[in-house]
Amino acid sequence: MIRTIAIILLTLSTAGAGYFGWTQKKSNSAVTEQVAELTQKVEEADKKVEATEEELAANKEMLPPLMTKAQELEAVKAAFSTGTVLKDLEAVYAKEKKGLSPERQLGLAGVRLLTNGTKDPATVEAFQKALEMTDWKAQQKVICAAQNALAAAGQPVKVMSECTAEAPEAKGSSKAETKDAHAEKADAKEGHGKDDKKGGKKDDKKDAHGPADAHAVHWDYEGAMGPENWGKEFPTCGRGKSQAPLNIKGPFEKVRFSVAPDYKQGQLKIVNNGHTIQVNVPAGSKIRIDGKPYDLLQFHFHRPSEEQIDGKPSAMVVHFVHKNTEGELAVLAVMLREGNENPGIKTLWTHAPKAEGPEVVPDGVMFNPANLLPKEMDFFHYDGSLTTPPCTEKVKFFILKTQVNIAKEQVSDFPFKLNARPVQPANGRPIYTN
């Protein structure tokens, strides 16, 4: 147990997201020590495969702080768990003729670890080997790349001052390297850009977004980092040919399959991540698309709806974000039009934080995402992308034809006035209907 957590944390500190220890960004050397200490602990644990109960007890005091970090890590792991990061990274590195630099090897090994988990001994071993081969500076570069990627993808990650573009340390090649790795990793971040807020971070949120603490790559819905400029930092947003959202209009192609949600009631977990209100869904809810199950990860809102039907947006839209075991993403969109009060939304808005901050888990409040669905499941369908940076493609979209009511007041109570990406060129993509 200790060993597993330690390995995970070690991964996190080096190749993952560097939550660990980085909250105190002033004490760089302390962090180095912590990493070194953990490395040693992992090695020690390796030697004591048959750990006795006494040993476990001795390690017990390490557990609580480690557990907290492990929870924070969930968000990071989720970001990598689709396997897309790994695939992309492997594809890019496969073209590398001269062989990989130690920090790239470490990054790759780390991503493998985050994707495959710690159960595969070969993956763990490869990571440890890569770790041994790199010096601290190289590890720091990898951390920066991961931090920038996660921050860009909307994670509440604190980016080390050493990792921001302005940092004096980010010199020449190192900066290019970081950016490069960033693009690849960010691209792989799943779940609609904002998918994995769970775990979140517990420390002071204001700090993370105060003017002194610059995000490496910030994005927004208006201004200098508005949608028309996302492509500058996130190439897929600018150059992708299958971007979402689309204006839905005929002619349509016919499909025969159906989508069948099977959503379950569970503890409400809700977060204002600075871009939207998002509900992180406990395991157990899924949707079947043409018979294939996809797990519901989270759902979130846009105002107005990103999708348009014949050029018209609705007041808002809910995006239910799903992922199957192959890591493929599917978004179910339910458009919300002004009308009667929506009881489901009422529950959500009661608990939704007005300002950006960590996930809130209101005691004993249960929610069933099915409350937000219409009865009829007829849909439009097309292949699109995340509608937030990094705009990763190969996301299946299903937009329900039946809209659901939301009261005007409920629309204006949504803390984001505008958080919708404009419609994107279809580039000849067919739009299907069932």
Give me the active site residues, please: 275
The smaller minimum CB distance to Zn ion, of residues 182 and 319, is found at 319
90/108 Cα distance (integer angstroms): 8
Pick the closer one to Zn ion by CB: 11 or 419. Answer: 419
Q: Give the C-alpha distances (Å, rounded to integers) separating 208 from 28, 161, 205.
A: 18, 11, 5
* Residue with Cβ nearer Zn ion (107 or 191): 191
Considering only residues 286 to 345 of the shown chain, the ones binding Zn ion according to CB under 5 A are: 319
Task: Identify the CA nearest to 141 among candidates 185, 97, 98, 99.
Answer: 185
Provide, rounded to whole angstroms, the least separation between the CB of residue 387 and Zn ion: 5
- Looking up tokens 């369908």, which residue turns up? 381
User: Looking at residue 60, what DSSP letter applies?
Assistant: G
Least separation in angstroms between CB 207 and Zn ion: 27
CB 303, min distance to Zn ion, A: 11
Alpha-carbon span 268 to 279, nearest angstrom: 7
Give the closest residue to 400 by CA, choosing from 329, 326, 337.
337
Helices 84-94 + 63-80 axis angle, to 10: 70
Q: Which is nearer to Zn ion, 11 or 285 (CB)?
A: 285
Token pair for 269: 């977990």
Name the residue nearer to Zn ion (CB basis): 221 or 367.
221
Smallest distance, Zn ion to C-beta of residue 73, A: 25
Read off the tokens for 293: 């199950």
Distance CA 138, CA 404 (A): 52
What DSSP element (H or E) covers 124? helix 121-133
Minimum distance from residue 369 beta carbon to Zn ion (Å) = 14
Binding mask 242-271 toward Zn ion (x if CB under 5 A, else -) reads: ------------------------------
* Residue 192 C-beta: closest distance to Zn ion, Å: 5
> DSSP readout, 232-261?
HH-HHHHH-SS-S--EE-S--EE----EEE
Residues in contact with Zn ion, total (CB under 5 A)? 1
286 vs 319 by CB, closer to Zn ion:
319
Nearest to 196 by CA among 84, 72, 318: 72
Rounded to the nearest whole angstrom, what is the least distance from the CB of residue 317 to Zn ion in the complex?
Answer: 7
Query: Nearer to Zn ion by C-beta: 179 or 319?
Result: 319
d(CA 164, CA 178): 10
CB nearer to Zn ion: give 197 or 319: 319
Residue 49 near residue 4, CB atoms below 8 Å: no
Cα angle for residues 40, 43, 47 (degrees, 5° grid):
135
The single-letter code of the amino acid at 413 is D
Structure tokens belonging to residue 286: 């899924």
Q: Which residue has 């476990």 as its token pair?
A: 56
- Annotate 139-153 with DSSP letters as a single string: HHHHHHHHHHHHHHT
State in Å, rounded, how far the first CA of the chain is from the last one.
48
User: Whole-number minimum distance, CB 150 to Zn ion, in Å?
Assistant: 18
User: Do the beta carbons of residue 117 and residue 236 sit within 8 Å?
Assistant: no
Helices and strands of the chain, counted as H and E runs: 14, 17
Shortest-Cβ-distance residue relative to Zn ion: 319
Give me the residues that bind Zn ion (CB under 5 A), please: 319
